[in-house]
Structure 1
Amino acid sequence: MSTPWHIQRMAALDFEASDKDSETARIVSCALILVGGNLPTDTRTWLVNPGIPQEPGAIAVHKLTDEHLAEHGAPAEQAVPEIAKSVAEVVAGGVPLVGHNLGGYDLNLLDRECRRHLGDSLEGIVRQPLTRVIDTMVLDRQVAPYRKRVSEEQGPYQMRTTAETYGLPWNEEQAHGAEYDALMSARAAYKMGAIAHTPYRDRPDWVRALRTNRFNSLRGVTVEELHERQIEWYRRDAEGYQAWLRDAAKSKEKHDPEAVIPTAWPLRPVPAPRNGGDR
């Protein structure tokens, strides 16, 4: 029997960016951390000057000001190729990429930056389709669905909530830095895989108490099979959220009768240019 996916070598990837829209955002920091597999941890980080003003909301999260990035960050035209090359080496080596909302945001951010600075897509740069992606947000929504918000500020499946759900210590002072968040996503993936590969009677009480318990869907699969399952899980969740937004009775003040939630994962098609212009 092959080694279970959660104890294999992983490459944890996380970005901090200039805004929350992956179509327009620029990378301001990146961490790529090779962990697990009974090998030493290997950490690479980048601080990037995006060359454009950031959204104030983004700065409030990651605390990297425009002035700090201008003084200490590498120019984006230098950093993005370095990041893309490092990710390509990981993919070529068959090491899975792991991250929280990795296919929902980070990989699309990197894809758009590759197109912007290298004139090619992310998969074009790595010279193969991405088939070994582990997105802990997708996994968490699958195995422990219907979780409620922790508070007005803390959502049900954001990185902190996922970490705390699986018993990982959380340091809010270090959080929202690419290196910390990347490492926490790898630890969360390990925790989910460990629960899935534990006999039901020995799983934590909170897991056995779940109304809908799908941890077995992570058990006994290869990384490639897990990747394929996440494509379907992400599509299902996106369609469900779109239907909820379009239902006035359910979504109330968030109601949007024309809401369109992208269903592609881990990479979305590039939207058509607006008004015939380029992004």
Structure 2
Amino acid sequence: MSWQTRPMASFDIESTGLDTATDRIVTAALWRIDPAARTKDVTTWLIDPGVDIPQAATDIHGITTDHARSHGRPAAEAVPEIGAALRQAAVDGLPVVVYNAPYDLTLLSAELERHGAGADFDGLLRIVDPLVLDKRADTYRRGSRKLVDVCAHHGVRLDEEQAHGAAADALAAARLAWKLAAAHPHLAQMGIDELHTAQAAWKAEQAASFQDYLRRKDPQAVVDGSWPLAART
């Protein structure tokens, strides 16, 4: 039985910004999905990050500072709970789908350290990253590789109004992973450990290729190829 027909999890974060070292989680979602049984359950978190949410971030995910302070849980309470839920999914043997995993997982890792709850799930996780898989399967396709655009290309429902909600994005990422595996049998036939290891190599290759492209104009350009967590500086 292929990994995409077995139970899996899917995870997404929305945050205060794009700096994984300093920005904070605002919302998160973790789905548990059984494709064969056609069941799915989601746990979501709304967090008061303890800092102001920039307007640019609110424009993306819709959560204001006032809303997070009024309705969100304290980060010191919620962040360790997110880490524990993700770790439990790994302990239960579920591969975890994360679109652009180095962003979400590195931000979560930094948040866990900030709140004194080490990211002890790192070595347990087996990640399926549809962004890496899509680039591997269709390397030279032009156009945006944002989740909403890749979903549209592959016929996965995620409209602009839904995009950038953690629950909607995580579910769309899981459906996208299923679609990619169905369309490319060599991906479906890989064991989850093999796929996890292969994605690390594919991400490094993709980053090196993009870096070579950028260096045509900027000889100092550097693209991090670390996966599933970004390199920590």
The answer as to 2:59 corresponding to 1:73 is no
What TM-score comes out, normalization by structure 2 length?
Answer: 0.95
Structure 2 unaligned regions, length at least 5: none
Counterpart secondary structure, 1:229: helix
The answer as to 2:95 corresponding to 1:140 is no
Letter of the 1:41 counterpart: K
Could you tell me how far apart the structure 1 residues matched to 2:105 and 2:72 are? 21
Q: 2:108 aligns with which of 107, 110, 116?
A: 110
Give the match for residue 42 of structure 1: 41
Give the match for residue 200 of structure 2: 231
Q: Deviations over 1:167-206 (max 9, x none)?
A: 1223211211000000000000001111123xxxxxxxxx
Give the match for residue 261 of structure 1: 223
Give the match for residue 192 of structure 1: 180
Give the match for residue 28 of structure 2: 30
Could you tell me how far apart the structure 2 residues matched to 1:10 and 1:97 are? 6
Distance 1:85 1:219, change over 3 A: closer
Could you tell me how far apart the structure 2 residues matched to 1:239 and 1:130 are? 27
RMSD between aligned alpha carbons? 1.4
Could you tell me how far apart the structure 2 residues matched to 1:240 and 1:55 are? 33
Q: Deviations over 1:132-181 (max 9, x none)?
A: 100010000110112222xxxxxx21111111111122321121100000
The structural deviation recorded for 1:59 is: 1.4
The structural deviation recorded for 1:261 is: 1.4
The structural deviation recorded for 1:131 is: 4.6
Give the match for residue 163 of structure 1: 151
Letter of the 1:54 counterpart: I
Counterpart secondary structure, 1:237: helix
Could you tell me how far apart the structure 2 residues matched to 1:130 and 1:139 are? 20
Structure 1 unaligned regions, length at least 5: 150-155, 198-215, 249-255, 272-279
Distance 1:55 1:147, change over 3 A: farther
**Bigger Rg over Cα:** 1
- Counterpart contact for 2:158–2:168, Cα < 8 Å: no
